[in-house]
Each structure stands twice: as C-alpha cells, then as structure tokens.
C-alpha cells in the first residue's frame, strides 16, 4: 500500500509502498479515504518533543475511511462501517484514568501516527474499541479534522468552564483555532480571535468571532483587558511561547487559561498574579471517545463546519512547508486516490 513515511527527523517524508498492516485480536483495518494534517504531525516529523515517535513512522491521527476487515473478537463493528482513527489509538481500559473518564491520561496509551502508524496511508489498522463512527451526513474530508482539531478544541472549551454569555479568547486560528471559534459560538460564548495573520482574522470573523486582535499590531492581553475586562477562559492553540504568555495575561480573575498548542518551550508564570487572581492554568489533551462523539454531532448538525483544502498524499512535504510558514487556511486534508 502507499504511505507517507518519516524515515529520519527533519527530513522530507518519503511516499512509497509499504506492507499493509496485518490484524491482530480486537483490531479492524480501515481503508483510509482522507486524513487531516495536524501541526502535531509536523512536530512528530521533526522530533520536536521530549518523547519521540517511533521511526520509521507513518504519521496521521485524523484518518477516516471504511472498515474493510474485522479482526477476531470484534463484534460491534462491521465491514463497510465509516470510522475515524483518532490520536487516542488505544488505552488500557482499567487504570484509574480509564476508569474515571480520563482515558486520554492513560499511561499505557498508544497514539496514532506517533507510537503506532497512522492515517497517511491507504490502509491503517486500529483498535476496534477506540475508533469512532463518522456521522452519515458528513463527507470523509469534512469529518477528518473533527477527529483531532474538533475534539481537542471542543474539550478545551469545556475545560475553560466558561458559561454561555461569557468571553473566551482563542489564540491561534489555524487548524485547531478555526473550529475552536465555531464550537465556542455554538456553546453560546463570546469569542475573541487572536492570530498573527490578517487572513486568519478575516476567517475568524466569517466564522462568527466577535472581536479580533493581531499581536503583530497590538498587545492582545491589553486589548482584551480594555474591551471586556479580561476573558473567562482562553484556549491557546498557537505554536508560540509569546502567545501563551499573552493568553495568561488576557484572563480575568478566577478565569482559566487552557494550554493546547505544543511548542517545545517553557512558560514562565507570575506566581503573584496567579495567586491573587485565582487564575487556573490547565493543560488539555485531545478528548475522550465520548467528547469525540459529541464534537462530531456538532458537525453533523451543521453547527461547526471545517474549512478544508484537499491535497493528494504525495503533496505532504509541500503542505508541511506551508504549515511552517503559517500559510494554511483552516485544515489541509490529504486524500487517498482509491
Ligand atoms: O490535544 C492537544 N493538546 C493538541 C491536539 C492537536 C494539536 C495539541 N495540538 C497542538 C499542535 O501540536 C500544535 O502545537 O496544537 C498546536 C496547533 O496545531 P494546529 O492548529 O494544527 O496548527 P496550525 O494549523 O499550524 O495553526 C497554528 C496557528 O497559530 C498561529 C498561526 O498563525 C496559525 O494560525 N500563531 C502562531 I504559529 N504564533 C501566534 C501568536 N504569537 C499565532 N497566533 C497568535 N499569536
Ligand atoms: Zn492533532
């Protein structure tokens, strides 16, 4: 089968023929139709983080397609089912996190396109218990980004604990941020979009954001404090340390700063302001299968629409180059010509 492979960090991916995966107990084989390109895939290909991915690696954790083979022991899925294979490839199912609705914290989890091969391929195997069905009325291309960008930002907004009518700031209006704006609006929140690109801010406006600020022109935290007295929550998806620092200072007393983007850097936090302001700084990693089902339902009901550009798998290196430069509008979704 055809796949895009990372052989070495910071080198071009190689699109080539590789062995089709062989199923084991409890697994399904998914004929991939589309796979979104997440900035995480770029971090993986660069070996950016302290925990490195497997090498060689087939990236991709927004792969969606059709089940073409069902392994032994799988009774709830059938050939022909439309499913996606998210970042949470599998978890142990019996640790304290799995038992308390926090399966994304499982210490024995596997991750698609990181610790196991993912969706930049014609076929991808998956743990049957962790695939999630694609709603009938969503195309594969439009559904793909919900499997990471959608669920991650939807969950992060829940973690802000902001209530309808309150304000949130979305730092970074890229693949994650452009759906974050829409989930926030659908959840009844007021939204301030923060991004360096004027095109990104224009998109945020089209998607319903109420206020916009470009850090290249203006200090976003000062702008946010002046306009609304600080936000109740922020979701920081920007791959930039200054964005995290600004997001912290944009939060009002008692508010929550949710860290989602993963630049490989540290974030200094002023202890005095945090303590006196009762500010919460919280990390949020993707979402559970239940969060994902909910996130997909918003899309199925037309409340969230992914802005996508499709490209063939062979174009992955060009897509990564554009991602580094911040030139992508919404999400690029790789299509498999099969
Ligand atoms: O579960 C998680 N926590 C999770 C899930 C998925 C992705 C975390 N991530 C991480 C990725 O690994 C990556 O570090 O979220 C980050 C964003 O992923 P993405 O949305 O897929 O990346 P993108 O499409 O390139 O968008 C990034 C946006 O940030 C803006 C860029 O202009 C772009 O629109 N941006 C940057 I870079 N610096 C900025 C700044 N200083 C900024 N926006 C505002 N201020
Ligand atoms: Zn992702």
Average pLDDT across each block of 10 residues of the chain; the chain has 338 residues. List them in order: 98 98 98 98 98 98 98 98 98 98 98 98 98 98 99 99 98 98 98 97 98 98 98 98 98 98 95 98 98 98 98 98 97 89
Q: What is the token pair recorded at 267? A: 């974030």
CA atoms within 13 Å, Cβ hemisphere of 139? 11
Instruction: Indicate if ligand 1 lies below 6 Å from the C-beta of 286.
Output: yes
Ligand 1 atom closest to Cα of residue 238 = 29
Q: Whose CA is nearest to atom 37 of ligand 1?
A: 239
Could you tell me the CA-to-CA distances from 306 to 17, 93, 121, 207, 277 in Å, in that order?
30, 31, 22, 10, 36
Per-residue model confidence (pLDDT) at position 338: 60
Say how many C-beta atoms besides its own lie within 10 A of residue 139's C-beta. Answer: 14
Compute the C-alpha angle 335/37/250, nearest 5°.
145
Q: Output the residue whose Cα is nearest ligand 1's atom 33.
A: 174
Q: What is residue 337's predicted lDDT score, i.e. its pLDDT?
A: 75
pLDDT in tens, 272-326: 999 999 999 999 999 999 999 999 999 999 999 999 999 999 999 999 999 999 9
178-181 long-range Cβ contacts below 8 angstroms, 24+ apart: 178/149, 178/203, 178/204, 178/207, 178/306, 178/307, 178/329, 178/330, 178/331, 179/145, 179/146, 179/149, 179/150, 179/153, 179/154, 179/304, 179/306, 180/153, 180/156, 180/235, 180/237, 181/207, 181/208, 181/209
CB 93 within 8 A of CB 36: no
Q: How many CA atoms lie within 13 A of 326 on its CB side?
A: 14
CA distance 84 to 131: 6
Q: Is 245 in the pocket of ligand 1 (CB under 6 A)?
A: no
Centre of ligand 1 from the C-alpha of residue 124, in Å? 26
Contact 64, 141 (CB under 8 A): no
What is the pLDDT at residue 230?
Answer: 98
Closest C-alpha residue for ligand 1 atom 41: 243
Residue 61, CA distances (Å) to 85, 156, 190 in order: 6, 18, 30
Q: Where are the alpha helices (DSSP H) in 129-266?
A: 140-143, 149-160, 175-186, 198-206, 220-228, 241-250
């Amino acid at each position: 089968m055809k796949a895009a492979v990372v052989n070495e960090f910071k080198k071009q991916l190689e699109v080539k023929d590789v062995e089709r995966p062989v199923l084991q107990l409890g697994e399904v084989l998914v004929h991939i139709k589309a796979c979104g390109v997440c900035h995480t895939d770029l971090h993986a290909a660069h070996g950016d983080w302290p925990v490195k991915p497997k090498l060689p690696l087939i990236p991709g954790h927004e792969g969606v397609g059709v089940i073409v083979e069902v392994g032994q022991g799988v009774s709830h899925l059938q050939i022909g089912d439309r499913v996606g294979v998210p970042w949470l490839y599998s978890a142990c199912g019996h640790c304290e996190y799995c038992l308390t609705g926090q399966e994304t914290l499982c210490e024995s989890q596997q991750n698609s396109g990181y610790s196991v091969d993912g969706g930049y391929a014609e076929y991808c195997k998956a743990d049957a218990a962790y695939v999630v069905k694609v709603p009938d009325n969503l195309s594969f291309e439009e559904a793909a980004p919900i499997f990471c960008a959608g669920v991650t930002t939807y969950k992060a907004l829940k973690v802000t604990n902001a209530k309808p009518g309150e304000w949130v700031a979305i730092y970074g209006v890229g693949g994650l941020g452009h759906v974050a704006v829409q989930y926030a609006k659908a959840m009844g929140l007021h939204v301030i979009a923060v991004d360096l690109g004027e095109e990104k801010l224009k998109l945020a406006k089209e998607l319903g954001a109420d206020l916009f600020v470009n850090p290249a022109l203006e200090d976003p935290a000062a702008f946010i404090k002046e306009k609304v007295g600080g936000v109740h929550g922020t979701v920081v998806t920007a791959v930039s340390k200054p964005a995290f620092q600004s997001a912290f200072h944009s939060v009002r007393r008692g508010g929550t700063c949710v860290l989602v983007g993963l630049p490989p850097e540290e974030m200094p936090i002023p202890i005095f302001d945090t303590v006196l302001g009762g500010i919460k700084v919280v990390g949020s990693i993707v979402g559970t299968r239940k969060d994902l089902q909910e996130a997909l339902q918003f899309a199925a009901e037309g409340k969230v629409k992914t802005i996508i550009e499709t490209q063939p798998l062979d174009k992955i290196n060009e897509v990564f180059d554009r991602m580094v430069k911040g030139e992508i509008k919404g999400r690029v979704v790789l299509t498999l010509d099969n």
